Copies of this chain bind each other. A is one copy, B any other.
Amino acid sequence: MESNDLKKAGLKVTLPRVKILELLENSDTRHHTAEDIYKALLESGEEVGLATVYRVLTQFEAAALVTRHHFESGQAVFELNHGSHHDHLVCVKCGRVDEFYDETIEQQQKKIAKDKGYLITDHNLILYGTCSTCS
């Protein structure tokens, strides 16, 4: 139940928050722009403002419920957190997004950071290409 997740995150259970969380959980695509979500809610007859969508997503991000990605489109893309970390493969033709996790790369990143004197807080790896159905 979504309202629980919200309460745990210290957020009041309000209609827009529940609706947005539902949409994120029930959609078959995992990556959404704020505008996508806004339009989807309008279409299903909900009364939300785009500003609220942004506000809610920002709160969700702060509560670690979602992650905000900056792909090369210029628009931010939001993704529901399902705990496990992963990176992305983006098809430049159809926009499809796949996910992967690779332990070797993770290890190597830690090593590099150490060599350069950095304390890693986060990282972001995106592979761009054409997927099997497009090429």
Stretch at the interface among A13-21, A31-39, A43-51, A123-131: A123-131
Interface string of A101-128 (1 = CB under 8 A from B): 0101100110011001111111111111
| Copies held by the complex | 2
Report the count of interface residues on A (CB-CB < 8 A). 34
What are the residues of chain B within 8 A of A129 when measuring CB–CB?
Answer: 113, 118-122
A8 to B70, CA, bound (A): 33
A117 to B134, CA, bound (A): 10
User: How many Å from the CB of A59 to the closest CB on chain B?
Assistant: 18
The answer to whether the Cβ of A92 comes within 8 Å of any Cβ in the partner chain is yes
7 A-B pairs besides A89-B113, A123-B127 with CB distance below 8 A are A72-B124, A89-B112, A104-B104, A113-B127, A118-B129, A120-B127, A121-B128
